[in-house]
Each structure stands twice: as structure tokens, then as C-alpha cells.
Amino acid sequence: MTNQFTITSLRGGATDAIREADLDRKTALAQETATRWFERRLSLRSPLDAELPLRPGRPERPELVPPRMMEKRSLHTVKGRIALLHAIAHIELNAVDLALDIVARFATEPVPNSFFDGWMQVAFEEAKHFRMVRNRLRELGADYGDLPAHDGLWQAAHSTRNDLTARLAVVPLILEARGLDVTPSLQAKMIETGDLDSAAVLDVIYRDEKGHVAIGAKWFRFLCARERRDPARTFQELVRANFRGSLKAPFNDIARAEAGLTPSFYRSLTATSNA
């Protein structure tokens, strides 16, 4: 499949992957763009690059509903595990587009090429995660699109589309960091129910996501240092301005700290809300 892609540049390949509605092609294009960029076979930008879409390409299903309409099910049933895996697949799919959007949208920012290396690594791994979860759903007799999903993740991208520092605060340092908090307990529940295959998929995601938060923390601190801003205070200001809702405890302080996100960043925000 990789040879059929015409990729004009890193920004062009990332944009085309965001626009692609066929999810097999989307994930393959994201990974092929990343591979060519890592091999330094692509320029950063080209006049031939397409315009960024307002929303990422998606198939007709799943139906997108408000988060409050998402049904909660017990993980002790196959239907409940399918529902959880479907929700994770949706998160991972959005994470592919969010990583690509950081690259495509901010390709004119004065940052080193290693910034784009990091985010294309994230995009590559999120595409891998989506495929792994989708394959596990299929093994359980289901598929992505069978259940409704919510649309809150892309709204975070929209609200921070004009500010790279705010984007880094909200996407990797809130949304991805949340995965570090909740995934270990989900893994434990999967093991408890005997679903070791799903637990193994979650283990891969958890290990990779720690690296994604670390990439976010690294570049957030880089931008703060360049602007002579205190990282923890800046994070709190940007979250209050750009994130709807509150940060939910308990936090996986150890995993967050290993990724460069210390409690001084987020502890004071647990009751924050501008919704």
C-alpha cells in the first residue's frame, strides 16, 4: 500500500492523512509519511500541500454523540469489554489526527526539526495502537463503528488551533496524561476477567503513551524557556483558558513524573472549570 501514496512534503502527508476517511489508508499514510520523514526523504513544506480541513476525515460510522450519552458497561461481560475497547479505539484514532495536526498546523513555527520527529513518532505509534485495538475488537466479533462515540477530543484541537504552547498543554499534558492515570486499572480489570489479550494491547499503549507525554512535556518546557515563562504557571493559565472541565484525580504521579509532568503542574487544577 505504501508505494501508492504521493506525498508532497511532511506537512502535505500529514494533511492528507488527516483528510483521509478510509481508516486503513489514514493509518498507513500516517506511518508512511513518518517513515519517509525519519529517512529525510521529505521536505518540511511544499507549495503543493493541501489545505488543512476543519475536521478530520471519518467513515460514516460511528455515530458521534455528546459524552454524557455514552453508556457505561461492566468489564465482566464481553459486551462491556467491547464497549471499552471501542472507546479506546476512538481515542487512539483521534490521537492519530491530533499528532498529525500538530505537525501540519504548526509547520511554520520556528522550532527544530526534532520537534517534528517527535510528533511523527507519536502519529506512527497512535496509528499502531488504533490498528491493534481494532484487531482485538474483530477478534471479539465486533468492529470500530459498531457503537456510538463522543466528539470531545477534536474540540480540544479546535480550541488551541492558533497557539502551539496551548496545544501542547491541552493535548499531550492533559488528554494523553489522563491515559497514564486510568490505563493501569483497566489493565488489571482485563486480567481479572481473564482477557489477557486485551490487557496486552493496553500494556503496549500505556508504555508508548508515557513517551508521548514526555515529548509533550519536553517541547512545552522548550517553548516556555524560550519565552522566559514559568512552565507550571503557564500550564495552569493555558488550561484555565482552553480546557473545558476539571482535571480528575487520582493521578498516576509516578508515571507522570517519569514523563516530565510533575505535580506542581496539575495539582492545583483539580477543581478548575470554565465550562
Beta-sheet pairing, 64-65 with 149-150 = parallel
* Domain extent listing, the chain: 6-44+73-269
pLDDT of residue 275: 37
Q: What digits encode the pLDDT tens for the residues 204-225? A: 999 999 999 999 999 999 999 9
171 within 8 A of 156, measured Cβ to Cβ: yes
CB 274 within 8 A of CB 245: no
State the pLDDT at residue 274: 41
Q: Where do runs of H (alpha helix) occur along the chain?
A: 10-19, 23-38, 78-105, 113-139, 152-159, 164-170, 177-192, 196-226, 231-242, 253-258, 263-266
Q: Does residue 187 contact residue 202 with C-beta atoms inside 8 Å?
A: yes
Please tell me the predicted confidence (pLDDT) of residue 248: 87
Average pLDDT of adjacent 10-residue blocks, the chain of 275 residues: 82 98 98 98 95 94 84 87 96 96 96 98 98 98 95 80 96 95 96 97 97 98 97 95 86 96 91 44
pLDDT value of position 244: 80
